[in-house]
Structure 1
Amino acid sequence: MSFDPQRELSFLLRDGTPLAVRSIRPEDRDFITEAFRRLSPESRYFRFWTRVRELNPRLIEELCSPDQKDHVAWVARHQTREDIPGVGGASFWRLKDDPTAAEVSFTVADEFQGLGVGTLLLALLWEHALTLGIQRLVGHVLHENITMRAWWDALGAMEQEAPRHWQTTLILDESLLENNHAGDHLRERLAQVRKSMNEEITLKD
């Protein structure tokens, strides 16, 4: 399976919201900036660990310039609502000291949290990472971010406590996922991502 940076995939959230999901592109700078601006103070704090109001343009540039090898980024947008700049996004950076691991991060718009956006984005990153030889995704979660920590724990990620946060490590092996709602939901999304990618490949062939 290969991942074409220009490919756009379609998925439905559990409430029926239609999403268009694809790799982030440099021309996405403006809507990414607006999407971050619309986040609640709490969501911005959990993502950047500081009380920021505006994102540094340099950071926006980095987020929107994935090389699809060591830096991969995906974005989910509403298919029919142009007034919504973004539903969610996720990215990973390959670790320099361990090329088989990558640091992962997620952002989900406040009005779409709890609908499975993070699970869908994780499934896309999971499959993309495996094609690049990455076997583990590493996350950093603030102690106060109870929801994110509970999600990683439910998936079976390993945890290591640090002074301000938890470091979570998820091995990209489907057989190691927990047999619970979070694990089952991720398995379903992984199957959907593989099916979508295979259908796209067949159409191109």
Structure 2
Amino acid sequence: MPFDPHRELSLSLADGTPLSVRSIRPEDRDFIAEAFRRLSPEARYFRFWMRVRELNPRLIDQICSPDQKDHVAWVARHQTREDIPGIGGASFWRLKEDTQAAEVSFTVADEFQGRGVATLLLAVIWQHALTLGITRFVGHVLHENVAMRAWWDALGAMEQEAPRHWITTLILDESLLEHSHAGNSLRVRLAQVREWMNEEKTLKD
């Protein structure tokens, strides 16, 4: 059953921060641009692999125009703080040469890093991907991005070294997740997202 891009998930971080998680929409351009401007130079570099101060308007249009089939994008926002443009986002693009795989990326606001935002977003796009016949996520992680590489490793992703970065492959099979803090946290989030999917199906039946 495909995800309904018009519905939102209400979830909380472990510290109680209330989040609204939904698919990105074209009208999100302004807050996406503002959220990017608030990222630290390091966070921008790790996400785009170059030193940039502003996002190209064409790239913003691409980010905000997912078809939710071959390009999927979700965003997490604070439910009550209008002054925070965005807490995090995750997206994937289906690979043309391998339609059961997709390249995945994450962005988390600096002040919310290390608080489980990426895990929550991974659970959402994981379940979304499975409904589309995608069974593997491929990530590209710069050598300098030690935290991201450690996270993938703790989940049980396979990795291959390239000249400038690591290529990670995560099989979307919960039984293959490591029994680590990262893996167990993801299992909890996956169960929450599946529960939401079942509620959504019940509403439609």
2:85 maps to 1:109: no
2-side partners of 1:173 and 1:202: how far apart?
Answer: 25
- Alpha-carbon deviations, 1:53-89, whole Å to 9, x = none? 0000000000000001100000000000000000000
| Equivalent in the alignment of 2:172 | 172
2-side partners of 1:92 and 1:172: how far apart?
Answer: 13
| Equivalent in the alignment of 2:21 | 21
Give the secondary-structure state (helix, strand or coil) at the position aligned to 1:2.
coil
Residue 32 of structure 2 aligns to which amino acid in structure 1?
I
- Alpha-carbon deviations, 1:137-187, whole Å to 9, x = none? 000000000000000000000000000000000000000000110110000
2-side partners of 1:16 and 1:172: how far apart?
Answer: 28
Residue 161 of structure 1 aligns to which amino acid in structure 2?
E
Shift of 1:2: 2.4
5+ long unaligned stretches in structure 2: none
Give the secondary-structure state (helix, strand or coil) at the position aligned to 1:170.
strand
- Alpha-carbon deviations, 1:96-145, whole Å to 9, x = none? 10000000000000011011000000000100000000000000000000
Q: State the TM-score, normalizing by the size of structure 2.
A: 0.99
Q: State the TM-score, normalizing by the size of structure 1.
A: 0.99
2-side partners of 1:199 and 1:131: how far apart?
Answer: 16
Shift of 1:202: 1.7
Residue 85 of structure 1 aligns to which amino acid in structure 2?
P
- Alpha-carbon deviations, 1:32-73, whole Å to 9, x = none? 000000000000000000010000000000000000110000
Shift of 1:23: 0.3
Shift of 1:204: 3.5
5+ long unaligned stretches in structure 1: none
For residues 32-181 of structure 1, what are the structure 2 equivalents within 5 Å? Answer: 32-181=32-181
1-side partners of 2:200 and 2:173: how far apart?
Answer: 24
Shift of 1:197: 1.8
What percent identity do the matched residue pairs reach? 83
2-side partners of 1:122 and 1:34: how far apart?
Answer: 23
2:171 maps to 1:185: no
Q: How many residues align?
A: 205
1-side partners of 2:111 and 2:128: how far apart?
Answer: 27
| Equivalent in the alignment of 1:3 | 3
> Once superposed, which parts of structure 1, at least 4 consecutive aligned residues long, lie more than 3 Å away?
none
Shift of 1:3: 0.1
Shift of 1:201: 2.4
